[in-house]
Amino acid sequence: MSRLLIVDGHAYAYRAFHAIRELRAPDGRPTNAIYGFVKMLEKMQAVVRPTHLIVVWDGGLNAERLAALPDYKAQRPEMPADLRPQLDGMVDYLAAAGIASQRADGVEADDYIASLTRLAAAESWDVVIASSDKDFMQLVSARVGLLNPNDKTGTVWGREQVLAKTGVEPGQVADWLALMGDAVDNIPGVPGVGPKTATELLKQFGAVENLLARLDEVKSEKLRQSLRDAAAAVVRNQKLVRLPEVPCELVPEKLVVRSGDRAALRRLLAGWGFKGMLAALDAPGGKQAELI
């Protein structure tokens, strides 16, 4: 059985950077994010035990989303100065460790991850997406699960966990987000509609299209008017939160988990001053990179 682990690269890079506040190489370069990223990747592999693995990086914002909402993700601060140079180090580590890495200009990581997930699931692969992004809940199925770093149990989320989190089915998550908005992506929702109200509306009407076609059935006059006023924005939001198909191909031999280049790994780990990882690499039967 093929099991593909897809890692949301930038999400984990940021998470690693903020988890470990200060760590530097012998020459003074910051290495806290690199170290944390490698450590997190090791833990994910231990939990998921993938046969195939890829880390996907953001290649810029989607032009169609920006055209629909110029303020899309506009509130996000600049990348920390000490994190930016570490991204290249992470990519170098992945190459040395024999792990696939993907970035395409103008393609958001979410969209590439979704496209690759659909291709793999269509080939009867099991897929685990490692990310805390709410958008990925819409992809959950019998073949597709989520590894949410905010869930300390290490549970791979399926339909049950999505239902417990949102109150709606995975197939309704895009409509759920369209109604309540997503502050992380700077997408405004319907005024007065939070997670609970969005869930109640979808339980009653099933989908946004049904809701907008039957607004007279909404009991609250205030909510009914709010939905009527925001109808165009809700339809726009659906397009923003849904994950479209982007150019992508499933090449198993490029994704298979394989042995890394020990010499290249040794050079990287020594240069970063990761003595524990270096010792583990050189130990008989040692892993490519072990925790310090």
Residue 237 half-sphere exposure, CB side, CA atoms within 13 Å? 25
pLDDT of residue 283: 82
Structure-derived torsion over alpha carbons of residues 60, 65, 70, 73, reported in degrees to the nearest 10: -50
The residue with greater pLDDT, 259 or 234, is 234
Average predicted confidence (pLDDT) for the chain:
94
Distance from C-alpha of 16 to C-alpha of 99, rounded to nearest angstrom: 18
* Residue 288 in this model has a pLDDT that exceeds 80: no
Q: For residue 282, what pLDDT is reported? A: 85
b/e sequence 247-275, b meaning 16+ C-beta within 10 Å: ebebeeeebebeebeeeebeebbeebbbe
On the question of pLDDT at 98 being above 80, the answer is: yes
For residue 217, pLDDT beyond 60:
yes
pLDDT of res. 86:
97
- Nearest alpha carbon to residue 180 among 209, 202, 158, 161: 202
Task: Match 């979808």 to its residue by tokens.
Answer: 202
215 pLDDT higher than 60: yes
pLDDT tens string 257-268: 988 999 999 999
Q: Is residue 120 pLDDT above 50, yes or no?
A: yes
pLDDT given for residue 292 in this prediction: 34
- Rounded to whole angstroms, the Cα distance separating 274 from 268 reads 9
Output the pLDDT for position 39.
95
At residue 133 the predicted structure's pLDDT band, cuts being 50, 70 and 90, is very high
* pLDDT tier for residue 88 given thresholds of 50, 70 and 90: very high
Non-local (6+) Cβ contacts of 187 within 8 A are 69, 72, 177, 181, 237, 240, 241
Question: Which pLDDT does position 286 carry in this prediction?
Answer: 57
DSSP string, 73-99: TTTPPPPPTTTHHHHHHHHHHHHHHT-
- Alpha helix stretches (DSSP H) within 215-274: 221-229, 231-241, 252-255, 262-272
* Average of per-residue pLDDT across 36-57: 96
Residue 55 has pLDDT above 60, yes or no: yes
Q: What tokens appear for 15 in the block?
A: 């998470």
State the pLDDT at residue 158: 97
What pLDDT score does 289 carry?
Answer: 42
Question: What percentage of the chain reaches a pLDDT higher than 90?
Answer: 91
**DSSP annotation of 115:** H
**200: DSSP letter:** H
Contacts of 179 (CB under 8 A, 6+ apart): 189, 190, 193, 197, 198, 201, 202, 208, 234, 237
Tokens in use for 117?
Answer: 């997930």
Query: According to the model, what pLDDT value does residue 21 have?
Result: 87
DSSP H/E element including 130: strand 126-130
Asked whether the predicted pLDDT for residue 254 surpasses 70, the reply is: yes
- Determine the pLDDT at residue 96: 97
| β-strand partners of 74 | none
pLDDT at 291: 36
Nearest to residue 134, comparing CAs of 54, 44, 198? 198
Task: Give the pLDDT score at 12.
Answer: 97
Percent of the chain with pLDDT over 70: 97
Cβ-contact 40, 16 below 8 angstroms: yes
Residues 6+ apart with CB under 8 A from 114: 136, 139, 243, 244, 245
Domains observed in the chain? 3-158+244-282 (3.40.50.1010), 170-241 (1.10.150.20)
Average pLDDT on 276-287 reads 81
